[in-house]
Amino acid sequence: MNIGYYPGCALHGSSDDYETSVRACLKALDVQLDELDDWLCCGATAAHSINQKLATALPARNLGIAQKMKLDRLFAPCPMCSMELKKANDALQNDEVRAEMEKIVETPLSGSVDVINLIQVFQAVGYDVIAEKATRKLEEFKPACYYGCLLTRPPKTLQFDDFEHPTSMDELLAKLGASPVEWNCKTVCCGGGLTLCDADGVAQMSHRILKNALDSGANCVVVACPMCQVNLDMKQAAAKKLGLAADVPIFYLTDLVGMALGMKPSQLDVDRHFTQTKLTK
């Protein structure tokens, strides 16, 4: 299966461990990634906080590149990017907006690119196909599947899973032999992009999530977002100061699927996570 690929800044920045993991895992599933030529940043929170037009223009430019490359399906592993791309695609359904955006981003725009997230790539491959290819069961994993904000919100734009109680990640990992726990913080925000500029606020938000995961019997948290990974993993020391009782290993979804497919953690860059990744029983 061939699919358009928009890595986004995080995966070409300090979250490039996620890109290693995504590429290794999808290669094992015969998914070929065609990266967009000269893609731009999606604008993220900064753009929609400061200039609404820019918040549509930046992702729209990327959709135009996808269109030029004849990629009708575009995969963005970062939920912030995929949400912004999808929101821009929705905005382009309005003729006036589309005409204005074509002038701004200097490329024709059809508003017809199908943007998908990581879980939707796994769904396109098929959970049963993945389970068949798996060479080992993830029996020791009791993950708290963490969806965060932008895999399911805004629900009108994304139309993906249940925005209060999503289960798509839990279902995939259960099929691969893991025992996902029921917990309360599946869609509670980790603090997102305020990591650097409101560190104390983000520590409190991450602490609440990590504590609930432990209290619910999880031995790790699984994410599908580079920003969630940073806040829960890299900044976990701050949550410890607020009373978090133990280390909580944080895995990308592709780490666990990759391990089920027989890959070593080091092939997935798991050894580059901050918090140790040994599981407690």
Partner 1 sequence: MGTSKRDWKTRVETLAHTRLNDCYQCGKCAAGCPRGVSMKLSPTRLMRAAQTGDILEAAESDSIWRCVSCLTCSARCPKSCEVAGVIDAMRQIAIEENILSEDAAKIIAFQKAFLRSVRKNGRTNELEMVADFEIRHFLNRFDLMGALKDATLGPKMLGKKKLHFKLGSPVKDKALVKRIFDKCGVKI
From 154, 167, 179, 277, residue interacting with partner 1 (rule: CB under 8 A): 154
Q: Does 272 bind partner 1 (CB under 8 A)?
A: yes
Interaction residues for partner 1, span 96-135 (CB under 8 A)? 103-106
The mark string for 171-190 relative to partner 1 (x by CB under 8 A, - otherwise) is ----------------xxx-
Q: Which residues pair with 116 in a beta bridge?
A: 75
Task: Give me the least distance between CB of 168 and partner 1, in Å please.
Answer: 17
What secondary structure does DSSP assign to 168-231, as a single string?
HHHHHHHHTT--PPP-S-TT----GGGTTTSHHHHHHHHHHHHHHHHHTT-SEEEES-HHHHII
Which range binds partner 1 by CB under 8 A, 45-53, 114-122, 176-184, 245-253?
45-53
Would you say 29 or 36 has its CB closer to partner 1?
Answer: 36
Q: Does 22 bind partner 1 (CB under 8 A)?
A: no
Would you say 130 or 254 has its CB closer to partner 1?
Answer: 254
Which range binds partner 1 by CB under 8 A, 165-173, 213-221, 250-258, 268-276?
268-276
From 6, 21, 25, 43, residue interacting with partner 1 (rule: CB under 8 A): 43
Residues that bind partner 1 (rule: CB under 8 A) add up to a total of 52
Would you say 2 or 14 has its CB closer to partner 1?
Answer: 14
What secondary structure does DSSP assign to the chain, as a single string?
-EEEE--HHHHTTTTHHHHHHHHHHHHHTTPEEEEPTT-----HHHHHHH-HHHHHHHHHHHHHHHHHTT-SEEE-SSHHHHHHHHHHHHHTTSHHHHHHHHHHHTS---S--EEE-HHHHHHHH-HHHHHHH--S--TT--EEE--TTTTT-SHHHH--S-SSS--HHHHHHHHTT--PPP-S-TT----GGGTTTSHHHHHHHHHHHHHHHHHTT-SEEEES-HHHHIIIIITHHHHHHTT--S---EEEHHHHHHHHTT--GGGGTGGG-SS--PPP-
Q: Does 69 bind partner 1 (CB under 8 A)?
A: no
From 2, 32, 49, 159, residue interacting with partner 1 (rule: CB under 8 A): 49
Would you say 151 or 173 has its CB closer to partner 1?
Answer: 151
Which range binds partner 1 by CB under 8 A, 110-118, 199-207, 241-249, 258-266?
199-207
Which range binds partner 1 by CB under 8 A, 43-51, 119-127, 215-223, 258-266?
43-51
What is the distance between the alpha carbons of residues 143 and 146, in angstroms, rounded to a whole number? 9
Q: Which residues bind partner 1 (CB under 8 A)?
A: 9, 12-15, 17, 38-41, 43-54, 57-58, 61, 103-106, 149-150, 153-155, 163, 187-189, 191-194, 196-199, 201, 205, 234, 272-274
